[in-house]
Chain A
Amino acid sequence: MSSEKSDWLSAASDNQAISPEQLDRLLQDAELQQSFARYHLIGAAIRNELPAQLDMQFADNFASLLDQEPAYQLESSPLVQGQQTAVSFWKKLGEAANTGWFKTGFQGTVAASVALVAVLGVQQFQGAGQDADLNSPLPVLQTQPVAGFATPVSLSQTSVNSRFEQEQRQAMLEQQQRLQQLLQAHRQQIRVMDTAQQNTPETPAEKPRQEQ
């Protein structure tokens, strides 16, 4: 049994898997734990991994050190109590804020403050923008052409195109003026239509035929 016991323990110390029952036994049995530590020590000695100064009692020493630490007792001082009342006020406020009209009011206040911040922020931003506009020269007063002052000297394709477009635009403008004039003439004729019919009772439909 002893050999059986030491077998799995030795295997465990060599990083072999152990069953949950064996782990439970190891955790409960102090003798087993000691032998487990010993196996590790042996393994370390064989692998030449022993530290220069071996302190076998490190865990026990640390436990006794912890025992010697003075125990601090947490007591409530008057200052802390004052803070507690303040907290309770805020707590009450918080509770009240979750009930009835106060909730809506509180939410409204929060929303209003957010909006105020947003508005102030935007105004600040706009103000900065306006200032920038005021400082920059007005387009009307700019003496240099917007596209830059260096125009190509050579007859490049783009300048031919733009010249053509200009001509086209000119033609379109003339066309529009002509149509505007005709539209005006059309309206004038409508205005005087009744008078014209009174003045010339002869049938106007025959006029073109007579001309031919």
Chain B
Amino acid sequence: MGWKGLSSALIILCYSSLSFAEVSGWEWFERSQSSVRQFNFEASFVVIKPNQVDSYRWVHGVHNDSEIEQLMPLEQSGVEILRRGEMVYYIAPEKAPLATSSSTIKELPALLYRDIESIKTLYDAVPGGATQLSGRSAQLLRLTPLQSGRPGYWLWLDSQTGFPLKIDTLTVQNEVLERWVVTHILPHATLPEILNVAANAELPAVAETIPNVALPQSPLELSWLPDGYQEVSVTAAMVPQQVLEQWLLYDGLHQVSVFVQPSASLPAQAFRDGATTIFVMPKNQFDVTVIGPVSIETARQIAESVR
């Protein structure tokens, strides 16, 4: 009797895992992307970098067919972020809130929100095995970059809902650069109560907060872009002083900034902040700094292309 029960359970288990394996990598990815848009939930997550751990509280709800999302750092000196539909507000104490029009909070993993078609041009999705993660069954999904220079991603998705439980950002050699882990999740049937206030709060419009200033003219030029990247416009008001020129590059998922500053006569240096590479290269009269989730080699090539 016991043996029969056990074997039938095994058969069911095998069958169910087989049926999971039939779901392709991109289907898993799509499921994951829609789960963070559709569900009402309260969650906490931590971002682990080699010398730093940041923890956040993350609340999401759907109200009158419009999304409301709130991201709060659990440390004291943090900016609270609120998204209502297509507007994102950065609310810091003793400061006027900054409003931008965007359908995503950029501090959340970009993978979960960017257009799946543009990600497909950069990555290959391969489903892995199922494991146990925080007491739930999790499906591993590996995103391998099609061109070198981009980081790889390993996603662990909840087997039932596709909700992301853990995301590792890795180098080509599969060394973990940054880890994003959900530590707690509480699903809600309706809009979480905590978002009721945010749903009705009066917040400023975009135009009021970002002044439209043009960057001063400069003779500098970026002569080479990494594969898949293109230049996008920079908001001049946010370029720090003493920066002669800033370019922003975008590949549909990652952003890379290139800064040109007066020389401080320092040697070429490379730093890492989690998955973000910071590369400084002195040129004749100025320093070029490349910041973004690219390999050091790519960053060096970008810096060298500044003329």
Contacts and interface: CB of A to CB of B under 8 A. Distances in A.
In this complex, the interface size class of chain A, counting residues with CB under 8 Å from chain B, is: 20 to 34
A192 B238 contact: yes
- How would you classify the secondary structure of chain A's contact residues: helix, strand, loop or mixed? helix
Contact of B219 (A178, A196, A198, A212): A212
B278 A191 contact: no
B275 to A, nearest CB: 13
A177 to B, nearest CB: 11
Interface string B99-128: 011110010000000000000000000000
B289 A182 contact: yes
A62 to B, nearest CB: 89
- How would you classify the secondary structure of chain B's contact residues: helix, strand, loop or mixed? strand
A101 to B, nearest CB: 33
Interface stretch (A45-53, A81-89, A202-210): A202-210
B217 interface: yes
B218 A211 contact: yes
Contacts of A189: 234-235, 238, 246, 248, 255, 257
A178 B261 contact: yes
A183 B240 CA distance: 11
Nearest to B259: A182
Contacts of A184: 240
Contact of B248 (A178, A182, A193, A209): A193
A113 interface: no
B122 to A, nearest CB: 17
B230 interface: yes
B257 A208 contact: no
A186 B221 contact: no
Contacts of B278: 179, 182-183
Interface in A157-204: 171, 174-175, 178-179, 181-200, 204
Interface residues of B, number: 45
Interface in B225-245: 230-235, 238-240, 243
Interface in A58-110: none
A90 to B, nearest CB: 52
A192 B235 contact: yes
B273 interface: yes
Contacts of B212: 199
Contact of B221 (A196, A204, A209): A209
A200 B239 contact: no
B220 A185 contact: no
Contacts of B219: 211-212
Contact of B273 (A183, A196, A200): A183
Which of A171, A175, A186 has the most chain B CB atoms inside 10 A of its CB? A186
